[in-house]
Amino acid sequence: MSSGNTLSRLFGKSPFLPLQTHMRVVLECAREIQPLIEALARGDEERVIKAKDHIFEREAEADRIKNELRLQLPRSLFMPVDRRDLLEVLHMQDAIANTAQDVAGLLIERQMTIPDFMHDPLIALTSRCIDTCEHSASIIEELDELLAMGFRGREVDKVDAMLTELNSIEDETDELGIALARSLFKHESEMDPVSVMMWYRLIEWIGDLADYAEKVGDRLRLLIAK
Amino acid sequence: MEIIAQYGTILLVLAVIFGLYMTWGIGANDVANAMGTSVGSGAITVKQAIVIAAIFEFTGAFIAGGNVTSTIRKGIVDPSSIANQPEILVFGMLAALLAAGVWLMIASTRGWPVSTTHSIVGALVGFTVAGIGFDAVHWGKIGQIAASWIVSPALGGFLAYMLMMSIRKTILDTERPFESARRWGPAYVFLVGFIISLVTLFKGLKHLNLELTVPMSFLSALVFGAICAAVGWALIQKVEVDPEADRDYHFASVEKIFVPMMIFTACAMAFAHGSNDVANGIGPLAAVASIIRSGGEMAQTSELPLWILVMGGVGIVVGLATMGYRVMQTIGTRITQLTPSRGFCATLAAAATVVLASRTGLPVSTTHIAVGAVIGVGMARGVGAIDLRVIGGIVVSWVITLPAGGILAALFFFMLKGMFT
């Protein structure tokens, strides 16, 4: 008889909690890049492997949550937000985890060693990119409050301010990335050419962490506007 | 006439048994839906819901159940063409009760969202067409009832939407939501008491010999609303801010204020449900009892005997106590998306709509109105995900229930007629 209950069948599973859970897992992936690079610079092999394993495990978990959420969103669901916008936010969140995995994979599989001149600016770039992800995740945490307010009013103003802040942090990461690329260019002749190319690629990928974090925010803007 | 004289007692006992079975079924299934929004929002526990339902379903049936009962009893079937065959109407009413009961049992084991009200109305129409004739159905009244089945969920949804918007404006979207909730909470509680009592008491209650003029009705509703507001105020004062929970969800403390407020809407909902749905069980019973007591007189001018209303109330409470609580438990664990503030809007809107229908004498489906109210909150972008397939299920169940109830009733009618004549 319980299965026949009209009222309980009326409620689908809310997509917002899984979306937030996904972002929390994604954030764990991104955060681990910092200790990974630090351990790599120290030559602490054990910690490097630990960080890599953690990133890979969390990325798999993020994928699992993503697939589960996609499955529970049939078109018959009536939601306060557009289904496509929601899936876009999810997609961008997931791109952060994928990028973190790519970065970790390349650093380890190619046994990259960090040249001294790169150490500090690389750490600075990574840490600021992770900041962007943190900020983006804290905006996703506001979804409950947005829902309570019907995606209007003060809460939207608050989220708008947070989004502006997100954009400016992302701008900073761009500058840090450009600065790092510039110093890499100066030292190109002293380095193995393939390594140089790989470092350019890594700088780009680490920057992508922030890019995707910003895109999460951009898609959220659309989601709010409906 | 002889049949009534000969088998009167047996027929009355049958009517009481079928009537009790129906009200038991209502208590076992429908009450859980009526209380679902309150239990689901976590505002009250299942135990509290049962106590509230037991008291207010009964009160609702007793105080405000008369109008719908009279519609079911004498508003749908026109017995003037069978004036000298009162047993036809008795068999018909028994058949309608049995058909609705059987259909509900089939439907609930299959998990179809079938409404008790629709079953009994379909059954009444079915027996009338089969047993008396097409013209013996008050089609105008049926038209009104059918229209109310579409209008009432829409009205419930509209009211819920407006309430949600109003609560956002006065409470949630303010500088200090907690203080706003403390200030405005009693006003919303007043609204609960005022609306329900005004609709119920408007121009008095005939069966309780309570005569009220229009200004008197307003005055008593104001007083009742004020009493509710005072009690609500006292309960709200006890709620304290929980900074720990607020860090995670900024409106956690505000929602705590809606918890005592929801006790009032839960009572209102149980009252509303009792006032409308009890008629499905006791309306046909009242018709049978009146014919048998008068020895075959079909004028049905007599007032509804109080013992029948009381019996209906008891049947619902027993159904609730034996099975309804289990249904309620499952609802409670599944509807976690409704916070107390959203539940408050949905429940108040649904209760007001149902009471209004009861006052007008229209048998409506409380469950469908509750569904409409929840969708109203969803329209205000307040619910994470609503599965619209349920609406399709409801529409299909309308289309199936009316003929199914009707055909079953016609079958049972001929069976009973064959058994007793």
How far A140 CA lies from chain B's nearest CA (Å)? 12
Record the tokens describing residue A148, joined without a space.
Answer: 């309570």
Q: How far apart are CA B111 and CA B131, in angstroms?
A: 31
Q: What residues have CB less than 8 Å from A166, skipping those under 6 apart?
A: A132, A135, A136, A139, A213, A214, A217
Nearest to B108 among A1, A12, A78 (CB): A1
A78·B335 Cβ contact <8 A: no
B385·A4 Cβ contact <8 A: no
Nearest residue of chain A to residue B371 (CA atoms): A7
A148·B330 Cβ contact <8 A: no
Q: Are strands B386-387 and A77-78 parallel, antiparallel or unpaired?
A: antiparallel
Q: Collapsing DSSP states into helix, strand and coil, what is residue B97?
A: helix
DSSP state of A75: T
B 162-201 residues with CB < 8 A to A: 164-165, 168, 172-174
CATH number, domain of A195, equals: 1.20.58.220
Geometric angle at alpha carbon B402, from B399 and B406, rounded to 5°: 145
A8·B381 Cβ contact <8 A: no
Sheet strands (E) in B172-219: none
Nearest to A224 by CA among A84, A82, A66: A82
Nearest residue of chain A to residue B33 (CA atoms): A7
Q: Provide the pLDDT confidence category of residue B300 given band limits of 50, 70 and 90.
A: low
How far A59 CA lies from chain B's nearest CA (Å)? 25
Contacts of A79 in chain B (CB under 8 A): 384-386
Residue A9 lies in a domain: no
Nearest to B384 among A3, A147, A154 (CB): A147
Nearest to B365 by CA among B273, B271, B269: B273
A 80-119 residues with CB < 8 A to B: 80-81
Q: How far apart are CA A149 and CA B379, in angstroms?
A: 12
B324 touches chain A (CB under 8 A): no
Q: Collapsing DSSP states into helix, strand and coil, what is residue A11?
A: strand
A8·B335 Cβ contact <8 A: yes
Nearest to A6 among B249, B250, B390 (CB): B390
pLDDT at A4: 54
Residue A41 lies in a domain: yes
Nearest to B251 among A6, A8, A148 (CB): A148
Q: What is the residue range of A190's domain?
A: 14-225
Highest mean pLDDT of the ranges A126-140, B102-116, B131-145 = A126-140
Q: How far apart are CA B245 and CA A214, in angstroms?
A: 29
Of residues B303 and A118, the one with the higher pLDDT is A118
Q: Are residues B136 and B128 in contact, defined by beta-carbon separation less than 8 angstroms? A: yes
Q: How far apart are CA B417 and CA B74, in angstroms?
A: 21
pLDDT at A2: 36
How far A129 CA lies from chain B's nearest CA (Å)? 25
Nearest to A153 among B168, B341, B390 (CB): B168
A6·B327 Cβ contact <8 A: no
pLDDT tens profile B149-165: 999 999 999 999 999 99
pLDDT tens profile B244-298: 888 888 899 999 999 999 999 999 999 999 999 988 988 899 888 888 888 777 6
pLDDT tens profile A164-211: 999 999 999 999 999 999 999 999 999 999 999 999 999 999 999 999
Share of chain B above pLDDT 90, in %: 53
Helix, strand, coil tally for chain A in percent (to 5): 85, 0, 15
A120 touches chain B (CB under 8 A): no
Residue A75 lies in a domain: yes
Contacts of B330 in chain A (CB under 8 A): 2, 5, 8
Contacts of B177 in chain A (CB under 8 A): none
pLDDT over 90 (residue B4): no
Record the tokens describing residue A144, joined without a space.
Answer: 């409950």
B384·A16 Cβ contact <8 A: yes
B77 touches chain A (CB under 8 A): no
A5·B327 Cβ contact <8 A: yes
In degrees to the nearest 10, what's the CA dihedral of B367, B369, B375, B377? -110
Q: What residues have CB less than 8 Å from A120, skipping those under 6 apart?
A: none
Q: Are residues B35 and B266 in contact, defined by beta-carbon separation less than 8 angstroms? A: yes
Contacts of B387 in chain A (CB under 8 A): 9-12, 74, 76-78
Contacts of B251 in chain A (CB under 8 A): 145, 148
Nearest to A12 among B250, B323, B387 (CB): B387
Contacts of B337 in chain A (CB under 8 A): 11, 14
Q: Collapsing DSSP states into helix, strand and coil, what is residue B114?
A: coil
Task: Say how many domains are in chain A.
Answer: 1
Residue A8 lies in a domain: no
Q: How far apart are CA B155 and CA B111, in angstroms?
A: 26
Report DSSP letters for B45-103, one per residue. Answer: -HHHHHHHHHHHHHHHHHHH-HHHHHIIIIISB-GGGGTT-HHHHHHHHHHHHHHHHHH
Q: Collapsing DSSP states into helix, strand and coil, what is residue B338?
A: coil
pLDDT tens profile A6-48: 888 888 889 999 999 999 999 999 999 999 999 999 999 999 9
- Interface ipTM > 0.90: no
Q: Provide the pLDDT confidence category of residue A3 given band limits of 50, 70 and 90.
A: very low
Mean pLDDT across chain B, nearest whole number? 89
H/E stretch holding A110: none
Give the residues across from B137 on adjacent strands: B77
Give the residues across from A77 on adjacent strands: B387
Residue A186 lies in a domain: yes
DSSP state of A147: H
Cα A87 to the center of its chain, rounded Å: 15
A151 touches chain B (CB under 8 A): yes
B339 touches chain A (CB under 8 A): yes
Distance from the first to the final alpha carbon of chain A: 38
Mean pLDDT along residues A49-71: 96
Q: How far apart are CA A9 and CA B189, in angstroms?
A: 29
pLDDT tens profile B55-105: 998 899 888 888 898 899 889 998 888 888 888 889 999 999 999 989 988
Of residues B22 and B335, the one with the higher pLDDT is B22
Residue A24 lies in a domain: yes
Nearest to A49 by CA among A35, A63, A29, A62: A35
Mean pLDDT across chain A, nearest whole number? 94
Give the residues across from B210 on adjacent strands: B205
Nearest to A11 among B29, B173, B386 (CB): B386
- Total-model pTM: 0.91
Residue A92 lies in a domain: yes
Give the residue from B386, B395, B396, B398 with the most A CB atoms within 10 Å of its CB, the best one to mutate: B386
